[in-house]
Structure 1
Amino acid sequence: METLLNDFSPGLFIMQAIILIILVVLLGKFAWKPIINSLDDREQGISEALAAAENAKLEMKKLEASNEAAAAEARAQRDTMLKEAREIKEKMIAEASTEAQEKADKIIAQAQETIEAEKKAALADIKTQVAELSVDIAEKVTRKELSEKDAQLALIDKMLTEANI
């Protein structure tokens, strides 16, 4: 330490102090200001990016809410459409059932009328045949003059058996 004190030179000390002050002023003017400005710019950019991220987050929440509302509306429309389709289906089935029942009733009525007409025609035909047979029998009976009752009965039985054949 003594050698340090012996080697101490006040002129050198002042010169080094002046160089240090000049160096600090030059660094302050040319280096620190740009460094501080770039740090400020970077800090401002980061805060703007954080604000933009917050805005994007809020916008995403709004979009999610609107998407959920749109999905709910779409579900409601789907439910309404399904309900209308079911009602139309039930209406068509009811109409088809009613129409089929009406057609069946009409066909049954026509069949009954046809059966009744054929029945009447058959009865009329049977009556005509019975009348013809009766007339034939009466004609044959009256043509023959029989004095005996037994002979008349035998003749009637014979004619009946011939008519049944």
Structure 2
Amino acid sequence: MEKLVNEFSAGLFFWQIILFALLLWLLHKFAWKPILKAVEQREEGIRSALAAAEEAKKEMQNVTADSEKLLQEARAEREAMLKEARDIKDKMVADAKSQAQAEGEKIIAQAQQSIEGEKKAAIADIKAQVAELSVEIAEKVLREQLSNKDKQLKLVDQLVGDIKLR
């Protein structure tokens, strides 16, 4: 968790929010309206079925026990239709949410991969610069040390003195 806080990037967070908002807008624009329209049509069909069932109920009050059985079947069908409509609506909403979640996770994973690639490139560039600077410093030090014959002899004596014979 501390790593996330230390490596927090406001720019990346901003773009992720923008992309998530865009995704929600696209879902609202293209997915929610057709889903709600289908649900409303289904509800209208259910309402008309309910109205027909109520009329049938009034007509069946004067009929025998068989007509009572038919009325009970109409009620059961109405409840099944309502339950089916609710189940379809809940499934559509859950599918849209899971799809949005998956897209969000995909965008985050792509962003993390991009950040990792940029980080590796920056580290490689820094290593190259450090190596180049080290060579330049060593070259300058050696030039300075070897520019004077006395210094050269002194350096050779010092190096020979540092060598340990086995």
Normalising by structure 1, we get a TM-score of: 0.47
Greater relative contact order structure (CA < 8 Å, 6+ sep): 2
State which structure, 1 or 2, has the greater radius of gyration over its C-alpha atoms.
Answer: 1
Normalising by structure 2, we get a TM-score of: 0.46
